[in-house]
Amino acid sequence: MIKITKIFIANAFVNETYKSKYGLINPILENGKFELIPIKERSNISGKNILKYKEIMCYNSDESITKYFPERNRNELSKYYVHYDPEFETYTYGDILKKGNSRSSNLKGAENGDFLFFIANLYKYRENTYLYNSNRFYFVGYFKIERIIQKESGVENYSNQIKNNAHYRRYLDGFTEIGDFIIIKGDKDESKRFLYPFKITKDFCDTCLRDKNNYTFKWDKYHSETQCIGSYTRTIRAFLDKEKDETRWEKFWNEIKNHILSN
């Protein structure tokens, strides 16, 4: 049977809800590099294996990620437990596969050798201030899937590979997931966290991506390109199939490779 490779896209890290409620925003720095702020853990989850915001370090410096938190509530937020997922140190991403979880249900169709790309909503950050009308969606990295580990198959057998993952940290502290969770492990040699983000534009989407019915995005239904992209990527799914979408597949990878080579 011929292996059909797919590209999945997942919208991750803090979003507009976190900006409104906590003032948490993913920053693009003046030099063009960026930092990623994970979402917080559920309020009923805590434990010795679960990290707090103050323990998360910046990718581009040896400072705490809380450097980019609002001064008014930085101390309070730094004590919150964090759902650090995905993580690009050992390349893992987890999710809960339960009935009704439409966001991640399509991951059941992922296989070893497929790609999982991550996008995030980023704002320009200048002189310790966010430029609030500057946000766009960007690709921030991707995994080439090496292994898909299911809770029911015995995660202990892979503990060294997934020890950094938020779902495994929950598991170690005795928190039972509602439904089985999976952890996707990326190939360390063929997975990447970008140094500079790749801006997702209307032209890129029209050229490379389609909705679930294989139509181009309906831009005129939304107030902005950012809102449109956010809506179409709210659910994790396969946006490209190498066999069925050969031309778009090649254009997608040409754009990504050119971005990597130029940065």
More confident residue, 94 or 100: 94
Q: Poorest-confidence range of 38-47, 49-58, 159-168, 205-214? A: 159-168
Q: Do the domain assignments include residue 129? A: yes
State the residue range of the domain holding 93.
6-262
pLDDT confidence tier of residue 180, bands split at 50, 70 and 90 = confident
The reply to whether 114 falls in a domain is: yes
In a domain, 165, yes or no: yes
Average pLDDT in the 140-147 region? 97
Residue 234 clears pLDDT 60, i.e. is over it: yes
Where does the chain have alpha helices with state H? 16-22, 74-78, 159-162, 166-172, 202-208, 225-232, 246-262
**Tokens, residue 244:** 């069925």
Overall domain count for the chain: 1
* Residue 102 clears pLDDT 60, i.e. is over it: no
* Residue 1 in domain: no
What pLDDT is recorded for position 159? Answer: 76
Q: What is the pTM of this model?
A: 0.94
| Confidence at residue 150, expressed as pLDDT on a 0 to 100 scale | 79
Average pLDDT value for residue range 196-202: 98
The answer on pLDDT for 155 being more than 90 is: no
Q: What is the pLDDT of residue 99?
A: 59
- For residue 101, pLDDT beyond 60: no
Whether pLDDT at 1 is above 60: no
Q: Establish if 35 belongs to a structural domain.
A: yes
> How buried is 48 (Cβ within 10 angstroms: 0-12 exposed, 13-18 middle, 19+ buried)?
exposed
